[in-house]
Amino acid sequence: MIIPRRFIKDACDTVRAEGATIVFTNGCFDILHAGHVRYLTAAGAMGDLLVIGLNSDASVRRLKGEGRPIVSEEDRAEVLDALRAVDVVTIFDEPTAEELIRLIRPDVYVKGGDYTIDTLPEAKIVQAAGGRVEFIPFVDGHSTTSVIEKIKASDV
């Protein structure tokens, strides 16, 4: 389900009151590929409710540069929402997910193995609230950038 940011705190508070374990991750998810699907499936298995913080189009442009995202935030949210492992998608515009994490207060914050505790400003917020941070190994050869480069190099 896609939930507007202004409703995400109440939605998570309701689920938490029912005893659910909330798992959160965030990212651009510009061109969805097998690495994303494996990552989100593993993240979803760590709790009862997987919430995705999706970078807005403006946020992706700031992070990745002009020409990105390839796919609009509305379409990216719809595709993520269609995945079995994903329960909730909400869009955020800030450079990091820190404010969103303060609202959601996840029990588990998941990121790819290309990150560390030291490179995640969000980790301190999660840990201060009693949550834990988990890392899922990065799948080599599976990245949006590599997909884009392959498309550019093709004669199609």
pLDDT per residue as tens digits for the range 67-123: 889 899 999 999 999 999 999 999 999 989 999 999 999 999 999 877 789 989 899
Extract the tokens encoding 102: 């303060």
Domain count, the chain: 1
What does the mean pLDDT of the chain come to? 90
153 band by pLDDT with thresholds 50, 70 and 90: confident
Instruction: Check residue 71 and give its pLDDT.
Output: 92
Q: What does residue 22 show for φ and ψ, rounded to 5 degrees? A: -100, 125
- What CATH number does the domain containing 37 carry? 3.40.50.620
Region 150-155: what's the mean pLDDT? 70
Q: Which residue has the higher pLDDT, 155 or 45?
A: 45
Q: Which domain holds residue 41?
A: 5-153
Residue 156: count of CB within 10 angstroms of its CB:
4
Instruction: Check residue 7 and give its pLDDT.
Output: 96
